Structure 1
Amino acid sequence: MKKIVLFTVCIGALLSCKQKHTSENGKSNSQFTAMCEQYYQDGLKLSPINATYIGDERYNDLLPNDGSQAFIKEYKDYNQRYLDSLSKFNRDELTADEKLSYDYLKDQLDMNLEGLQYHSEYLPFNQMFALPLTMGQLGSGTGAQPFKTVKNYEDWLKRVTAFSVWADTAIANFKKGADAGIVLPKALVIKMIPQMQSMVVADPEKSLFYGPINLLPANFSANDKQKLTKEYRDAIATVITPTYKRLGDYLQNEYLPKARTTSGFSAIPGGLKWYTYLVKQQTTTNKTPEEIYQTGLKEVTRIKSQMDSIKSLTGFKGDLKAFFEYMKTDKKFMPYKTPKEVLAAFENIHQRMKPNLKKMFDVEPKTPFEIRQTEAFRAASASAEYNQGSADGKRPGIFYVPIIDAKTFNTTSGMESLFLHEAIPGHHYQISLTQENESLPNFRRFGGHNAYVEGWALYCESLGKELGLYQDPYQHMGALGDEMHRAIRLVVDVAIHTKNMSREEAIKYMTDNEAISTEGATAEIERYMGIPAQALGYKIGALKIRELRSKYEKELGSKFKLSAFHTAVLKDGSFPLSVFESKMDSWAESQK
């Protein structure tokens, strides 16, 4: 799972758009460029946390009450205003690059406005996507929120005060949702309660939010240190701890009894229509849920036959399910003793493929890269993920690995494919190269589409052999397992939300078809229950990139150069898949 801050509201740092848009007749449309930049800047104010993740510090003290009716109206007006502005430009008169921006923007604004007919504010957070968890990461002192100056420390205290208001609105919205029959499944609420309770402490110094005080810069004056220490102790005791206690108590005592026993969106009023919209939003295609379900079934069958071949190669005698069990439980696949050893094994993967990376990519990111263990407070419910670096390169891109117990960390879980996806050349290359490209309009530098972003990362898993990995049949099996995992998602996500597949049936389908523990499958299925359709983007995006690569290899023959293809895929940033495909077709034409 990725913690990539790429949302539909534009985000990013104040890095002015310096690109000169020159068309065939040498004229650029300065008004269009200015409108794109203003759209981006207005979007930052609406999404200040996203700005923080990009490294723009102007709004580090803000936290909008995004579940309030006032905010929802402001968000609607923002999208409508820019849709009206866009309609004043004649697309045919724009340069090729401006047309890409136009198509991106039109798609995004239409999508955002369409989404407002559904009451997503009635489900303000869940066990995976939750501002209360993001606040823990930001406030720990080691996340994206900077704690280098006295102003940085004061900014965070203001954000904390706003978080208390946000939490009260979230509770009010949960109540409205309960009245309307739009509630989360019980299984998810049960996971959310301990997440809130873990932030409730009697001693402020034991709080995760005391981290910045433990890391006070040495160059602060004695007065500043004393003042900030007192303010942070007070904020933890009087604002942070009571806020998490209110959230935990509400979920436990009032919401849990009203939560539903069903798993999918089809069980809530208007849920089928809402899910169909989410499929369109997350895949950036017009594919129906049923089409995606059928694609999933075909892919499961195809990958299963490849798995059978690898199983035979290892000489294993039992069936595929027995082979999965063997890979999951045999101690030889759990060689590590400490978290440090696990992290070192991932770095070893990085070093082994470096020589081949240079052949397949003409450009590599300047943004630094780190591998870190996921923080203990969220490790139990976290997947491995990538947190993007800042555009100025001051904060590295981080590949987070949750390690509950190093002694049970299994090498056959697909370590090589995981690294290719989450780290290099997956998310780290795609996000960093886009952010570093100052010639792009800012809304494209810091925007993103699930199907493109996750599709690229999953496509990168398929490059393992070409990068000199997957030499060990068990690692290759792990990679196929990861691919199978994404295919299974197409089946279970759609079935949960449109075919009344229960949580238990979905868990069984997953454990029957891939080497995953019941606990792992449970966390995954609950993720799809909480964030419908998001998991569909991976396979749909990867299939499109692979389809285009195969098409151009045939069309261009000896003129096809893989590194040039990869540059073309990445150089303009993220797009809806239809826009991406027409852009790539133009590139292929230019190669002829």
Structure 2
Amino acid sequence: MKTRLSLLTLAAAALLACAPAGAAQQAAPAVKPAPAAATPESRQINALADEYYESLARFEPVWATENGDSRFNDQLGLSISPKVRQQQFARYRSYLKRLSSIPRDKLGQRDQTSYDILKFELDTALRLAAFPEHLIPIDQMVSMPVILANYASGQGAQPLSTPREYRAYLNRLAQLVTHIDQSIVNMREGIKRGVVQPREPMQSALPQFRQLVAAKAEDSIFYTPITNLPASFTAAEKRSLTTAYRKTIANKLNPALRRLSTFLEKDYLPKTRTSAGWNALPNGAAWYAARVAGMTTTNLTPEQIHEIGVKEVARIQGEYGVVGPKMGYTGPAAGLPRWVSEQPKYKPFTSDQQVIDVYRELDAKVRTKLPALFTLMPKSPLDLRLEPELSRATASDHYTPPAVDGSRPGVFWSVVNDPKQYGSTGMVTLYLHEGQPGHHFHIALVQELGLPNFRKFGGNNAFTEGWALYAETLGKEMGLFEKPEDYFGHLNDEMLRAARLVVDTGLHAKGWSRAKAIQYFQDTLGYSEPEARAQIERYMVWPGQALGYKIGSLKIMELRKRAESALGEKFSLPKFHEIVLGEGTLPLAVLEAKVDRWIAASR
């Protein structure tokens, strides 16, 4: 399942568009730079890495918030501004030049890894600098107004429990006005240059932006913090905050949201394109190839990825043929997902509480299994929560990382809109992916390894989602797939990731229409037309993002098999997991080199 973290990591790792600039005004836990290094070369690489991270966090303060760095929680930034973008990319060129002057062979192993990651990130950013992603700052999946609306509950990455935190969020709301107006300017320029979103996703997006416009301040979703003022606040604090929120929303934010909604409906939507793929945009094929390289951290071409997807789909359908009869299904293997979706017994819930209770029972069971598979585990706790009603309609199941200061645990958020329609077959694999040993083991652990800040708070999609998808497969070794319906759920989620390889490359490199991609999802995954449409429209506006899951997982599985074959009885699965997780998030080529070194040393 897509996580909010991966959503924003995509924007930041690709260094495209979501927010820069300005020193944080709130007092927040200091983010310690990398420890002093022993040699001049090590001091150079660590100083450069720290400077790079500070630049990125100021450029993308919402990304920093999502990844546990709360120092910039009062800043929104304006990275969609052409001028700010140019300034940031100039910094990256300077950093890359400085990096090339550091002799890599004189660095220790840890610093060599930092060198390789930093080079990958800078190369990726500068490759993408040529493409005008800032001209399409809004879609149905992510936009700055919706991100801040989802923060209004105070239960997400931006906390709302003290007067200072309330003022920080209010500052972001005030800055959102400028961000909205810059978005409109950018989209007008995009219309002139033929760089616009496809029509159907923007039709889906329009209701979101209409709903953000309130008749009066008190009706706005952004006023929610005031309706939830903590009892511990003084009367004076409550009065001051209430007045400030009301004025900002009524006089500034609500008019800006109305401008945006009207612009999208009257001016932008009629100019959107009828094509589905990125290759329809100016220089779109090269643009897509750059995104594919960044999202997969590989040199695989779209055509190669498409073929991998086709083969994986066929393999998983073979597994359907085995598990289907165990569930009472006797039809063609490809029809199993649809049949399961129609069985009432796999939708047993009548309340939200029943859903979260099952996840908590599963959590307790998994905790007893983990020590046999892992010796390296995060200290930060994992909490399981239901998505608040406020953001339920626009959210999907996701994980949010712990705060670096320990004030917030990692959280697996379960989204239950209608418990009677909540399927039980995918719950085991979803927990393994979003909870532990999936995202929590990777992301929480990254904060505890003493890594340079750009590695502690950064990352890439292929490793992050690849690890979480690989973690799903460990359910078999934990004995969690003994019920055929649970194993089907695992296969069905794996099928989704394989089918994504086919449709993403189909849409953006092979000329597939939206209708063809929707039909493929219906046929392959048994989705209803609305379910398939929502998924395909996601891939239409996020080209390449969905590729990292399967490509990353396949690489980790490949490396595990290589190590098992090479080491035989010397192979240790807990040690392999330690090797994979022990230095944080790595580009796949860097991970492969690390595993190969371990194999050679272990022999």
Q: Please report the TM-score for the alignment, with normalisation by the length of structure 2.
A: 0.93
Whole-angstrom distance in 2 between the partners of 1:133 and 1:255: 18
Count of paired positions: 587
Worse overlay, 109-118 or 341-350: 341-350
2:575 maps to amino acid:
A
2:23 equivalent in structure 1:
none
Structure 1 counterpart SS, 2:51:
helix
1:445 equivalent in structure 2:
456
Worse overlay, 569-578 or 1-10: 1-10
Whole-angstrom distance in 1 between the partners of 2:68 and 2:338: 45
1:226 equivalent in structure 2:
239
2:469 equivalent in structure 1:
458
1:548 equivalent in structure 2:
559
Worse overlay, 477-486 or 322-331: 322-331
Which runs of structure 2 are paired with 1:179-194 in the superposition (5 Å)?
179-194=192-207
2:242 maps to amino acid:
T
Any conservation in 1 of the 2:153–2:225 contact (CA below 8 Å)? Answer: yes
Sort the Cα spacing of 1:442 and 1:537 in 2 relative to 1 into closer, same or farther, 3 A.
Answer: same
Any conservation in 2 of the 1:49–1:60 contact (CA below 8 Å)? Answer: yes
Any conservation in 2 of the 1:198–1:377 contact (CA below 8 Å)? Answer: no
Which runs of structure 2 are paired with 1:5-16 in the superposition (5 Å)?
5-6=8-9, 7-8=12-13, 14-16=30-32
Say which of 342, 362, 369 aligns to 2:355: 342
Structure 2 counterpart SS, 1:372:
strand
Whole-angstrom distance in 2 between the partners of 1:575 and 1:510: 31
Q: Are 1:472 and 2:492 an aligned pair?
A: no
Sort the Cα spacing of 1:386 and 1:57 in 2 relative to 1 into closer, same or farther, 3 A.
Answer: closer
2:165 equivalent in structure 1:
152
1:422 maps to amino acid:
E
Q: Are 1:206 and 2:219 an aligned pair?
A: yes
Q: CA deviation at 1:271?
A: 0.9
Whole-angstrom distance in 2 between the partners of 1:236 and 1:60: 19
Q: Are 1:527 and 2:526 an aligned pair?
A: no
Structure 2 counterpart SS, 1:391:
coil
Structure 1 counterpart SS, 2:413:
strand
2:330 equivalent in structure 1:
317
Any conservation in 1 of the 2:439–2:464 contact (CA below 8 Å)? Answer: yes
1:316 maps to amino acid:
Y
Sort the Cα spacing of 1:148 and 1:524 in 2 relative to 1 into closer, same or farther, 3 A.
Answer: same
2:445 equivalent in structure 1:
433
Structure 1 counterpart SS, 2:186:
helix
Worse overlay, 45-54 or 112-121: 45-54
Say which of 50, 61, 85 aligns to 1:37: 50
1:2 equivalent in structure 2:
3
Q: CA deviation at 1:523?
A: 1.2
Which runs of structure 2 are paired with 1:7-406 in the superposition (5 Å)?
7-8=12-13, 14-19=30-35, 21=37, 29-406=42-419
Worse overlay, 338-347 or 307-316: 307-316
Q: CA deviation at 1:381?
A: 4.3
Q: CA deviation at 1:245?
A: 1.7
Q: CA deviation at 1:352?
A: 2.1
Sort the Cα spacing of 1:518 and 1:307 in 2 relative to 1 into closer, same or farther, 3 A.
Answer: same
Say which of 575, 578, 584 aligns to 1:573: 584
Q: CA deviation at 1:492?
A: 0.6
Whole-angstrom distance in 2 between the partners of 1:274 and 1:375: 37
Sort the Cα spacing of 1:368 and 1:236 in 2 relative to 1 into closer, same or farther, 3 A.
Answer: farther
Any conservation in 1 of the 2:69–2:404 contact (CA below 8 Å)? Answer: no
Say which of 560, 564, 569 aligns to 2:571: 560
Whole-angstrom distance in 2 between the partners of 1:585 and 1:321: 38
Worse overlay, 575-584 or 529-538: 575-584
1:2 maps to amino acid:
T
Whole-angstrom distance in 1 between the partners of 2:72 and 2:532: 39
Q: CA deviation at 1:284?
A: 0.5
Sort the Cα spacing of 1:398 and 1:243 in 2 relative to 1 into closer, same or farther, 3 A.
Answer: farther
Q: Are 1:508 and 2:519 an aligned pair?
A: yes
Sort the Cα spacing of 1:143 and 1:244 in 2 relative to 1 into closer, same or farther, 3 A.
Answer: same
Deviations 1:148-188 (A, max 9, x none): 33332222222212110010110111111111111111111
Any conservation in 1 of the 2:402–2:408 contact (CA below 8 Å)? Answer: yes
1:515 maps to amino acid:
G
2:121 maps to amino acid:
Q
Worse overlay, 506-515 or 164-173: 506-515
Q: Are 1:488 and 2:499 an aligned pair?
A: yes
Deviations 1:180-225 (A, max 9, x none): 1111111111111111111122243332222222332333332221
Whole-angstrom distance in 1 between the partners of 2:306 and 2:447: 34
Whole-angstrom distance in 1 between the partners of 2:163 and 2:522: 51
Whole-angstrom distance in 2 between the partners of 1:380 and 1:57: 26
Sort the Cα spacing of 1:172 and 1:377 in 2 relative to 1 into closer, same or farther, 3 A.
Answer: farther
Structure 2 counterpart SS, 1:463:
helix
Structure 2 counterpart SS, 1:198:
helix
Deviations 1:456-504 (A, max 9, x none): 0111111111112111101111111111111111111001111221111
Worse overlay, 106-115 or 36-45: 36-45
Whole-angstrom distance in 2 between the partners of 1:375 and 1:260: 35
Q: CA deviation at 1:420?
A: 0.8
Q: CA deviation at 1:317?
A: 2.1
Any conservation in 1 of the 2:196–2:273 contact (CA below 8 Å)? Answer: yes
Deviations 1:384-433 (A, max 9, x none): 21122212221122222222211111112x11111111111111110000
Deviations 1:423-452 (A, max 9, x none): 1111111000001222x1111111111111
Give aligned-pair identity as a percent: 39
1:417 maps to amino acid:
T
Specify every segment of 5 or more residues in structure 2 that has no aligned partner in the other structure, as ranges: 21-27
Deviations 1:490-537 (A, max 9, x none): 111001111221111111111111233322221111110010011011
